[in-house]
Amino acid sequence: MKIAIGSDHAGFDYKTEIINHLKHLGHDVQDYGPSNADSVDYPDYAHPVASAIENGEHTLGILICGSANGVAITANKHQGVRAAIAWQNEIAALARQHNNANILCIPARFIDMDLSKKIVTTFTTTDFEGGRHANRVNKISCA
């Protein structure tokens, strides 16, 4: 699977570990930055990841910042993007199953590295259930 990933400074260490984890699972990962842990503005990295999902370059995206709120808010400005914050494994599964989320947002300051990897694995291996959920998902876009 082709996965786009980005973070801010608070999520940089997690991003590095998650990239290695995803590659170990056999995914093709494109890192949209940043390239170090210096302070940055999260929209500068969330927008390119969201654009890559919006235009079909990648199947799924992952964004990481301190609370995950900033990157989620930014990503959800893009049509066709359904960015979901997950701090528990079950939330990641439900985001895929019920909401067809295509970007996972991880709150690096609130979960540990091992849990973040479990959440990423769940997100990338869980399918959208469709059915009754498809009608709801189809009502999300404003366009």
Residue numbers annotated as active site: 65, 98
Q: How many CB atoms lie within 10 A of CB 125?
A: 12
Pairwise CA distance, residues 24 & 102, whole Å: 21
3-state helix, strand, coil in the chain (%, to 5): 45, 15, 40
Residue with tokens 């009502």: 139
51, 54, 57: which is closest to 3 by C-alpha? 57
CA dihedral 2, 33, 11, 88 (to 10 degrees): -20
Pairing state between β 28-31 and 2-7:
parallel
CA atoms within 13 A on the CB side of 14: 30
